[in-house]
Copies of this chain bind each other. A is one copy, B any other.
Amino acid sequence: MKIALDAMGGDYAPEVVVQGAIEACKEHPLNVILVGDMKTIKDHLPGNGDLPRIEVHHCKEWVRMDESPMKAVRRKKNASIRVAFELARDGEVDAVVSAGNSGAVLAAAILTLGRIVGVERPAFASIFPGRKGNVILIDVGANVDCRPLHLFQFGIMARAFAVSCLGMQAPGIGLLSIGEEGSKGNELVRQAHNLYKSSDLNFVGNVEGRDIFTGDVEIIVCDGFVGNVALKLTEGMADAVTEMVEKELNASLPRDKEASPGAGLLRRLRKYWDYQEYGGAPLLGIKGVGIVCHGGSSPKAITNALLMADHYAKNNVSQRLSDEMQQFKSQENIFSMK
């Protein structure tokens, strides 16, 4: 598998992104094409820049975090994220990974690869560490204003991903709401609830914010505004808790911190809540593979995202997703309810 990595995307690009590619290729049988400014990238490659299984594809532009994604992707024909997806479109690579502007990833993916037939809105899925197992939250930011049908399709897409990429068996789908009864929630959720109920999906009903951490339901569906708020809230709370535990341990446990039991706790707490462990959010619903990582990704996070992209491509998730969409498309009664 060959993966295009947007070398210019992310808070610490290109240095940390390049470092992630180097570590990934050293430890795993991956081929990576770094897409971005040749000179800047080469500055961060060791020696003369000739590394096994790492290539550089030069392009002179990129999309900044504060740019309007759609406008920037359309205007900058040589932007790294756009060029990366063009490599995928042309069959040069099997997947694209970026820690840059997630809106630009979405725009470039749709512009170059296009949506899978039947998919109204591609969506970002994020994997949370539930107590009983992983939980997929979808959408975490691609679509801030949704219709009920979009929420319904998110469930179908997440299921295809869960089964073909994460190895889940018949995952349950829950709708994120503010009470378990179908009558609870806002207008969007109440209508989406009815769509799910009339389908033959493994719909478990409404779930609440706390269910993201239990693992009782494998897939939790929400609009991209709610999902993104949830994602950032979780990150903020993880930071707050870790800081608090660290302060307490420093004050009360033995001075030899690394050897103390508290140090182990802190390490595991960090690891547990660390988004870097989970390798980024796949964009479901495009004709190909696109993974977006946190802007502040470390080399390790980039490595994990590359591994996820590799796994996603190998398991033919897009084909599976396309098959599922075809199957549901025939249920006209549902798809006519927009």
For A248, list chain B residues within 8 Å (CB).
264-265, 268-269
Q: Would A213 and B225 be within 8 Å (CB), given that A186-B145, A262-B262 are in contact?
A: no
A228 close to B265 (CB less than 8 A): no
B265 close to A249 (CB less than 8 A): yes
Per-position contact with B for A163-198: 1 when CB-CB < 8 Å, else 0?
000000000000011100101011101000000000
CA A262 – CA B264 in complex, angstroms?
13
CA A235 – CA B208 in complex, angstroms?
11
CA A285 – CA B26 in complex, angstroms?
61
Per-position contact with B for A125-146: 1 when CB-CB < 8 Å, else 0?
0000001000000000100110
For A141, list chain B residues within 8 Å (CB).
178
Give the residues from 206 to 235 in chain A that come closer than 8 angstroms, CB to CB, to chain B.
Answer: 208-214, 222-226, 228-235
With beta carbons under 8 angstroms apart, the residue of B189, B209, B213, B239 that contacts A213 is: B239
B228 close to A210 (CB less than 8 A): no
A185 close to B245 (CB less than 8 A): no
CA A211 – CA B237 in complex, angstroms?
9
For A244, list chain B residues within 8 Å (CB).
268-269, 272
Q: For residue A191, give the distance in angstroms from its CB to the closest CB of chain B.
A: 12
Kindly name the residue among A178, A181, A214 whose own CB sees the greatest number of chain B CB atoms within 10 A: A178
For A145, list chain B residues within 8 Å (CB).
186-187
Instruction: Give me the interface of A with B, judged by CB distance under 8 Å.
Output: 66, 68, 131, 141, 144-145, 176-178, 181, 183, 185-187, 189, 208-214, 222-226, 228-241, 243-245, 248-249, 252-253, 261-262, 264-265, 268-269, 272
3 nearest A-B residue pairs (beta carbon): A210-B236, A209-B233, A209-B232
A to B CB contacts below 8 Å, 18 in the list: A131-B240, A144-B185, A145-B187, A209-B228, A209-B229, A209-B231, A210-B232, A211-B236, A212-B236, A213-B236, A214-B240, A226-B229, A237-B238, A244-B268, A248-B264, A248-B269, A249-B261, A249-B265
